[in-house]
Amino acid sequence: MEVNTCNNFSKDIQEWAYINFQLQIMLCQNTPSISNTMKKELDIIGYKGICLDKLNNVQKEELIGIDSFFGHLQTGNRIIAFALKKSGLNRDIFNDIQDSIGAAYEDVVQKNGRHELVETSYQNSLQTLSVFRP
């Protein structure tokens, strides 16, 4: 999927979705330590819990549970909430939102391979967005 990267709105949505999906991958792959960039990204998306590299495997599993911070429901909803807030609920740009989220998903899959949690989060994002479409 190609998104017009000159469009700051689309770029912001794509970056937000990418960060959320990438952090899910990091948790699922049990990355032993996280970079300073990832720590900043956690803060950007509103994660206020224990630093991810200090969590044990059970705690990481809890964070990706169905209704947990990095679970597919909260992640998908967080992506759409950001996009809708940024768009001012302008329905004319919902296709841009969908394309931007799709581009972020494709980037994550291309770099990390397919993962069920990210796929489900992506689908939840699209389903949530469809609720707001006319």
What are the pLDDT digits (tens) for 63-84?
A: 999 889 999 999 999 999 999 9
Angle at which helices 94-112 and 116-132 cross, to 10°:
180
As for how many domains the chain has, the answer is 1
Q: How far apart are the C-alpha atoms of 102 and 17, rounded to whole Å?
A: 9
Q: What's the pLDDT score for residue 6?
A: 41
Per residue in 7-61, pLDDT (tens digit) is 889 999 999 999 999 999 988 887 778 888 988 999 999 999 988 888 888 998 9
Higher pLDDT, 2 or 118: 118
Q: How far apart are the C-alpha atoms of 44 and 2, rounded to whole Å?
A: 25
Q: How far apart are the C-alpha atoms of 128 and 122, rounded to whole Å?
A: 10
Query: CA 79, 14, 96, 85 torsion: positive or negative?
Result: positive
Q: Per-residue pLDDT for 100 more than 90?
A: yes
Q: Per-residue pLDDT for 4 more than 80?
A: no
**Residue 28 domain flag:** no
**Residue 45 domain flag:** no
Q: Per-residue pLDDT for 133 more than 90?
A: no
**Residue 86 domain flag:** yes
Q: Per-residue pLDDT for 121 more than 90?
A: yes
**Residue 37 domain flag:** no
Q: Any idea which residue has 């049990």 for tokens? A: 30
**Residue 94 domain flag:** yes
**Residue 98 domain flag:** yes
**Residue 22 domain flag:** no
**Residue 1 domain flag:** no
Domain housing 93: 69-134
